[in-house]
Structure 1
Amino acid sequence: MNHPRVPVRLLAHESLPGIAEALGNMDGWLLRDGAHRLVTRHEGTITVGRVGTDPSRVLADRAVWADPAPDDPSPYCSPLPDGGLAISTRQAVTVHEPDGTVRWEHRHRDWQQSPEAAGACTPDPAGRVLLATMAGPVGPDGLSAGDICRALDLATGEVLSEHVLPTFSATYAFQQFPDARSEVLLTASMGQDGARCLLVTYAAGGLGVRAAGTAEEPYVGLGADGVLVSQDVGGGYLCRTQDGADDVIVEARNVLPDEWVFVGYTPGFVDDNRILVVAAEEQWAEEGIHLLLDARTLEPVAELDYPQAPGVAAVPLGDGTWLTHDQETVQRWTTT
């Protein structure tokens, strides 16, 4: 690849046990209330670390909870605006107070024949309700019309609205936009049946759900003004989608060495002008190269030059910095 190599500078590092595994989870890196959060599980403890705006630090603060189901791989966690924690499992959604006590629990039907399905949850951007996905009801014919999204009152757990989704037995994840849009992104991975990207809104009239343009991949970076950058599950291409604009698609074979693919599954915006992605010789590689792309054309503009070979996880923060990890240590970087 004939791209300039841009040296990087380490700004901060911090130990965070469980981070290596967390960045492979659907809730390991979250954008909530305008802040990036890292969610780890380690030795029976859930830790939510808020990434600070001060680039000389990694985390501004941490909150910890006892893990109510340390042996269950399905829970999805989301921090709440009041300092609480919401946890979605295959059978229930539970909101915990900052001190760990249970505020309320909302039980729902399990996905009986779909062991890979898993729900997700997030507060809406206004902080009024908890949006949660779960298995839908079964009709008289024994079939479900689809999974459902419910809006639950954050204070009481009361069901305020419900919407049947165009997805079945999926693994879900929510992300909020960095510029406090009223919509949140919901991704649904359905295995061999593909994936869907949906935009969910809660208002006085109830829940609204619409397709997120043409995005159909579960690995999506969110930018300002509703921009989505999605990465193909197999690493074969990237796609930039935005309402009112033509899609931009870049295929790996046209910008990477022969048979290389995009990996890492955390494409995202380093800043308004640059996107950070990772590429490697094979999908399951443990090391790769980190590329900066033009945020509008998706054309590579530079390769990042680290002191040592980086892994395949890179978390862009939108402020000109990004995170990687070295085993259980989180590192914060910028370009020199």
Structure 2
Amino acid sequence: MSITAQPHGSVKLPGGAALVNGFAFEGRGNAPCRALLRNGDELEVYDLDEVFAGERAPTAVFPLPWPGWDRGVHSVSPDATFAVFSGQRAVRAVGPGGEPLWEYRHGCWGPELDHAHTGDEQEVCPGIEHGSCRVSDGGRLVWAHVVLGPEEDWQECWVVLDARDGRELARLPLDSAASGSHHLSHPDGLHMGLCIGMGQDGVLLHWARWDGEELTCWDLDEASDRILMDVHPGHAGFLTVEHYGADLTLHALDGTVLAEGVPEPSDEEDPPCWDYGCGFVDADTVIASTVESDEDPDRALHWMLDARTLRVRDAVVYPTGRVRGYARPLGDGTWLTYDGGSGALSRWTEATPRA
């Protein structure tokens, strides 16, 4: 028996596709879910609960320090008083008016070694490589994935910065050659996850915590080549998807495998595999999509899984017809989808069964 989705509102937001197809979503423990969306030369911050309640104005707006730079994963402080941008050659914190608060300089993510720069800070070098940053849930730290300069052999590092002045507090050298990365904070407010994508060379996954004196880090060898997707809202583990979609896995924080889930068998010649869109709808339920959305949209489906065992419950049926693309769960019992044709961002919940 299929699972029926119930509409929970639909809105149009500039750049809203990045909420479902990218890393524009920022959840912080029990705080309302936020959207960080680029609109022209500005980063707009929206409270998603307010947006679906009818409020269309952003809660904060930050001018982009490098308008020509359209990569990197950025972050906003919990109180939305400052934003931190992951640039091509620096991590920079700015206030609402765009005034620089501090800057942490690093090497260039451009792929050509020793390439010259014009001296113009707005220059964007060729290449798609980028890092990412994340303000801690307490607002006191900034975690950033950066590449160091030629004097340090272009090594990539994970750094912990003081959010007040950008001072480096700790550094972890990384054995990576990133095409991109993203951070994910743990709901306990202490731990931070870093997922580094290296294209055909696979994926690296790290967790760490900073106690004010010591940086404790561990890489998850047993979770290698797995993409970090979400953390259980009740701290019961984190969710990854295998690089090529073979399975979903629930891990304890130390990487121990707690459960694995595979797609439902299909009558088609090619077996189904998971797409990159998945996560916790709530403490009991995971939503995931199958990968056919790119090659055959009519075969793409969203599935509900048990959050403890990752056993597939059933496919999701939408009253508006088949919904293509990813599903972005919010952890509060709802999830988002995006319609590229209409530009509509829709919110859904599982329909309550009739007695």
Query: Deviations for 1:223-249, whole angstroms, at most 9, x for unmatched residues?
Result: 132512211232222122114754423
Q: TM-score by structure 1 length?
A: 0.86
Provide the residue aligned with 1:193 in structure 2. Answer: 201
State how 1:186-225 maps to structure 2 within 5 Å.
186-212=194-220, 214-216=222-224, 217-223=226-232, 224-225=234-235
Q: 1:322 to 1:112 in 2, by over 3 A?
A: closer
CA distance in 1, matches of 2:84, 2:55: 24
Checking the alignment, whether the CA contact within 8 Å between 1:197 and 1:211 is kept in structure 2 is yes
Change (3 A) 1:257 1:116: farther
How far did residue 24 of structure 1 move? 3.0
Q: 2:164 — aligned with what?
A: 155
CA displacement 1:150-178 (0-9 Å, x = unmatched):
2211111112222212323341100112x
Please give the root-mean-square deviation of Cα atoms over the aligned residues, in Å.
2.7
Gaps of 5+ in 2: 113-126
* Structure 1 residue aligned with 2:310: 298
The number of residue pairs the alignment matches comes to 327
Asked if the contact 1:227–1:242 (Cα under 8 Å) also holds between the matched residues in 2, the reply is yes
Query: Do 2:76 and 2:83's aligned partners in 1 also have CA atoms closer than 8 Å?
Result: yes
Partner of 1:268: 279
Question: Which stretch of the first structure deviates more once superposed, 309-318 or 204-213?
Answer: 204-213
Distance in 2 between the 1:174 and 1:281 partners? Answer: 27
Contact 2:93–2:103 (CA under 8 A) maintained in structure 1: yes
Q: Structure 1 unaligned runs (5+)?
A: none
Match of 2:25 among 29, 38, 58: 29
In the TM superposition, residue 313 of structure 1 has moved relative to its aligned partner by 1.8
Judged with a 3 Å threshold, the aligned counterparts in structure 2 of structure 1 residues 225 and 311 are, in CA distance, closer, same or farther, namely same
Q: How many angstroms does 1:82 deviate by?
A: 3.3
Matched position secondary structure for 1:122: strand
Q: Does structure 1 retain, via aligned residues, the 8 Å contact 2:303–2:314?
A: yes
- 1:76-134 CA deviation, whole Å, 9 max, x = no partner? 21111231111001201111112332211221111353634311111123321111110
- Structure 1 residue 137: Cα displacement: 4.7
The answer to which structure has the higher strand fraction is 1
Give the letter aligned to residue 42 of structure 2.
T
Partner of 2:290: 279
Kindly indicate whether the alpha-carbon contact (under 8 Å) linking 1:35 and 1:51 is maintained by their aligned counterparts in 2.
Answer: yes
Give yes or no for contact 2:265–2:272 (8 Å, CA) kept in 1. Answer: no
Residues 301-330 of structure 1: per-residue CA shift (max 9 Å, x gap):
121110221022211111111111223222
- Whether 2:188 is the aligned partner of 1:180: answer yes
Identity level (%): 23
Letter in 2 for 1:225: H
Greater mean deviation of Cα atoms: 226-235 or 317-326: 226-235
Counterpart of 2:84 (choices 78, 86, 91) is: 86
Query: Could you say what secondary structure the match of 1:214 adopts?
Result: helix
Asked if the contact 1:187/1:218 (under 8 Å) is kept, the reply is: yes
Indicate if the aligned counterparts of 1:52 and 1:60 stay in contact, CA closer than 8 A: no
2:93 is matched with which residue: 88, 92, 95?
A: 95
Distance change in 2, residues 1:226/1:55 (3 Å): farther
Structure 2 distance, partners of 1:292, 1:59, is 30
Alignment equivalent of 1:66, drawn from 55, 63, 81 = 63
**C-alpha displacement of 1:282:** 5.5
Write the distance in 1 (CA, Å) between the matches of 2:105 and 2:305.
44
Which residue of structure 2 aligns with residue 229 of structure 1?
239
Counterpart amino acid of residue 242 in structure 2: D
> What is the one-letter code of the residue matched to 1:153?
D
User: 1:281 is paired with a residue of what secondary structure?
Assistant: helix
Residue 20 of structure 2 contacts residue 337 of structure 2 at CA under 8 Å; is this kept in 1? no
Q: Against the structure 1 CA distance between its residues 48 and 196, is the aligned structure 2 distance closer, same or farther, given a 3 Å change threshold?
A: same
* Secondary structure, aligned partner of 1:186: strand
User: What's 2:122 paired with?
Assistant: none
Check conservation: 1:7, 1:335, Cα contact below 8 A.
Answer: yes
After alignment, is 274-283 or 315-324 more displaced? 274-283
SS in structure 2 of the partner of residue 11 of structure 1: strand
Corresponding residue for residue 339 of structure 2: 326
